Amino acid sequence: MTLPMEMLMYTCPKCKICTANLHPGETEYLKLCPAYTRYGWFAYAGGGKCYLAQGIREGVLEIDEDLADIVYHCTLCKTCVQQCATDQDPTEIARMVRREVVKALGGPPGDAKIVVKSTLNYRNPYQQPKAMRFRWAKGLGIKDATKEKVDTLYYVGCTAAMIPERTHFALNTVKLLDAAGENFGTLGQKEICCGSTTYNLGVEDAFKEVAGENIEMLNELGVERVLTSCAGCYSVMKNEYPRVARRNFDVVHVTEYLAQLLDEGRLKPSKALDLKVTYHDPCHLGRYSELYDAPRRILEAIPGVELVEMPRSREKSWCCGAGAGVKTAFPDFAAWVGGERVKEAAETGAAALVSACPFCEGNLTDVVAATEAGLDVYDVTDLLVRSLDP
């Protein structure tokens, strides 16, 4: 246990500001921590994880399934970090406790164990053979970046490549890059998981294994930038890969790059959509990577799109509920968290809920279908492609 971690777990003042919008001068009370809001016990909050870590360190708490249940109900959304009055990072404590759980109990709880095994055995979390990874691109003539020199490597990600309902992320990105005249390619069947899920589940060895493979492969290709659709891929490659090995490429999210292409005039949306939308900030795009403006710039550039904000947006955005293995291990909790977000979106009067992450879209779509909320759920690229089409 490192000194900074010890400092964090013992300097947390347990003020509960991590749970809600409680800073002096705030004019509106907003519940922000999903697990604490749902269950009401401080152990579920960011600061509560510091208590758990103290108990483990001092031998007061035994690592058992009950403790694992608490620490894995956290989506690691990082609102506690955004709110913390002492500028600490309780999510790092939560990951540390998860790593201790993995050591003591042999892995994360429930079906999350399957995700880890699949990532190690298949190099994707969905137990899909390698041949399935590039099926979405059949007949598109996309360059193979392992055989041809490209400026931009589009790293598709497991979800956009292998989940049929999410392949539109990849198809849209290819259409938009083609429209802009971009010299790009993919890794095809050689692409492997980024390791984000294993990292957040606390399985450090598995994360370092796949991250190391990715860094070595991408460095050898000599590409200028790696473009991702998934906020989780983006965050882990940008923020966590450098501690595994030297990374010789830039990591850019699709919305970041598309906003740049719009600014340069290489993409010119012209078809009016006549649509009122609200935007959901993915945690790994927003709080983890401080990328808030690019998706909104894209929406504002599309004729006929009216953007209205939810009360909890940007730094104070409410999580979608899918992250950090929660949708796999605790689907009922993920549905509740997503349900809170969908209700908030519907109250804006928007006809559509837009995001920029396959995981977010998946959980929010499931909730909308289950609750008949009357909202359409889109990715930012869905609307941009529609506006470019004749």
Under 8 Å between Cβ of 126 and 158? yes
What are the phi and psi torsion angles at 146 (to 5°)?
-85, -10
Q: Where in the chain is the domain with CATH 3.40.50.1860?
A: 112-260
> Residues 189, 130: contact at Cβ < 8 Å?
yes
**Placement of tokens 């010789």 in the chain:** 248
- Supply 287's token pair: 């709080």
Distance CA 172, CA 167 (A): 9
pLDDT of 42: 93
Q: E-assigned strands of the chain?
A: 143-144, 152-155, 184-186, 225-228, 250-253, 275-279, 305-307, 352-355, 376-379
What is the chain's pLDDT, residue by residue, as a tens digit (390 residues)? 444 667 677 888 888 888 887 665 666 778 899 999 999 999 999 999 998 999 999 999 999 999 999 999 999 999 999 888 888 889 999 999 999 999 999 999 989 999 999 999 999 999 999 889 999 999 999 999 999 999 999 999 999 999 999 999 999 999 999 999 999 999 999 999 999 999 999 999 999 999 999 999 999 999 989 999 999 999 999 999 999 999 999 999 999 999 999 999 999 999 999 999 999 999 999 999 999 999 999 999 999 999 999 999 999 999 999 999 999 999 999 999 999 999 999 999 999 999 999 999 999 999 999 998 899 999 999 999 999 966
The pLDDT, as a whole number, for residue 4 is 63
Give pTM, 2 decimals.
0.94
Task: Write down the CATH number for the domain with range 112-260.
Answer: 3.40.50.1860
Task: Identify whether the C-beta of residue 99 lies closer than 8 Å to the C-beta of residue 319.
Answer: no
Q: What's the token pair of residue 369?
A: 């279908």
- Listed in order, the ranges of the chain carrying CATH 3.40.50.10700 are 269-388
Instruction: Give me the pLDDT at residue 25, please.
Output: 62
Sheet holding 305-307, edge to edge: 305-307, 275-279, 352-355, 376-379
Topology, domain 269-388: Rossmann fold (3.40.50)
Q: What is the pLDDT of residue 390?
A: 63
Q: What was the pLDDT predicted at 23?
A: 61
Supply the pLDDT for residue 2: 47
